Amino acid sequence: MIMFGTFEKKIFGIEWQKILSYRFEFWLNFFGEMALCIIIPYFLWDTIYVSKNITVYHGLALPDIVSYSFCAFYCFKIVMGGGKEGSISQEIYYGTLSRYLVYPMNYLFMKYIQYMATSLFHLSKFVLLLVLAKWWWHLPIDPTVEQLGLFVLILFLAANFVFLIFTINECMAFWADNVWSLQVIFRTTLQILGGLYSPLLFFPEKFQNILAWSPISHCVYTPVMILLGKQGYPLFSIFASLMISISILFFLLKAVWKRGLIKFEAAGM
């Protein structure tokens, strides 16, 4: 039986340690990313608002859209968690997966814990940056406790959804010679249809209606809109699409993993 015990806590600790091990790079990336994800959207949208001579568009003022871009950038990082291309596929290619298979633990569960540890790290970083950005740039983000709860819950489900697709893609390494490009296709889809580059509100209405039932749009756009206190998609469609997709993908992953292991050839220890 799998319980959240010492083993899982250790994995959490190791993952956080890995992220923090190169302090200079960490802090440079920390502040660099923060500046970039505010400066670029600010000047881009400012140009558009000025050229249209408007202050509010689709219910979003310039500070709202800058806040959106800022939050979207970090939400994307949270749902992508520890999804590093090659983290599973390389073990399959080099045959090193065999060393995990002989241990009394579930390999995919270990990968899940690693993934979630990174997600949690990015979430903590986001909370800290949010406070900083509010104080420094006066971003209009004032969520209620309920909105915060909903935000975290949807992000958690979205991270599960992304983890499952990410892992299924990685498992394709049992059959395909390189899966890196598959992961990039998925990431690009998530970036554009998830609302990382611009709020889905700006997309044509028909397109938005289709996206309401797609779990991808709930990975970035929905949680950010909830955090900003703006009207997003109905809660029913959000939870239904995420839960149904997670259930289907969970069984799909189990089947892919089982078939893949039959095909797996280890190179030796």
Partner 1 sequence: MLKKYSRIYWQFLRISFSKAASFRFDFYFRTIMDIFYYASIILFFDVIYGHTATLGGWNQSQMHIFLASYFVLDSLDMTIFSTNLWWLPLHINRGDLDLYLTKPINSLFYLGLKEFQVGSLINVFFSYALFLYFWLSSQVGLTFLDLMIHHLLLINALFLFNFVRIFFIISAFWSGSPRGIDELFIGFTRFLNYPEQIYPNWLRKIMVSIIPFSFMISIPHQIIFGQKSVIWIFISIAVTLFFGWLATCLWKMGLSKYSSASS
Enumerate binding residues for partner 1 (CB under 8 A).
Answer: 22, 24-25, 28-29, 32-33, 36-37, 39-40, 43-44, 46-48, 51-52, 57, 176-178, 180-182, 184-185, 188-189, 191-192, 197-198, 202-204
Q: How far is the CB of 179 from partner 1 (least distance, A)?
A: 8
> Which residue, 63 or 86, is less far from partner 1 as judged by CB?
86
> Which residue, 136 or 250, is less far from partner 1 as judged by CB?
136
Check the CA dihedral 217-222-224-230 and report its sign. positive
Instruction: Give dist(CA 12, CA 120) in Å, integer.
Output: 9
> Which residue, 30 or 251, is less far from partner 1 as judged by CB?
30
Q: How far is the CB of 51 from partner 1 (least distance, A)?
A: 5
Run of H or E residues at 60: strand 60-61
Instruction: Give dist(CA 226, CA 91) in Å, integer.
Output: 39
> Which residue, 54 or 248, is less far from partner 1 as judged by CB?
54
* 141 neighbors 126 (Cβ within 8 angstroms): no
Looking at the DSSP bridge assignments, the partners of residue 60 are: 57
> Which residue, 30 or 250, is less far from partner 1 as judged by CB?
30
* 25 neighbors 126 (Cβ within 8 angstroms): no
Output the DSSP codes for 88-113: THHHHHHTTTHHHHTSSS-HHHHHHH
Q: How far is the CB of 28 from partner 1 (least distance, A)?
A: 5
Instruction: Give dist(CA 62, CA 156) in Å, integer.
Output: 29
Instruction: Give dist(CA 131, CA 109) in Å, integer.
Output: 33
Q: How far is the CB of 156 from partner 1 (least distance, A)?
A: 25
Q: Which amino acid is at 51?
A: S
Instruction: Give dist(CA 219, CA 20) in Å, integer.
Output: 26
User: Largest alpha-carbon pair distance within the chain?
Assistant: 67
> Which residue, 200 or 249, is less far from partner 1 as judged by CB?
200
Q: How far is the CB of 110 from partner 1 (least distance, A)?
A: 21
The residue written with tokens 């050229």 in the block is 51
Q: How far is the CB of 122 from partner 1 (least distance, A)?
A: 13
Q: How far is the CB of 261 from partner 1 (least distance, A)?
A: 20
> Which residue, 157 or 190, is less far from partner 1 as judged by CB?
190
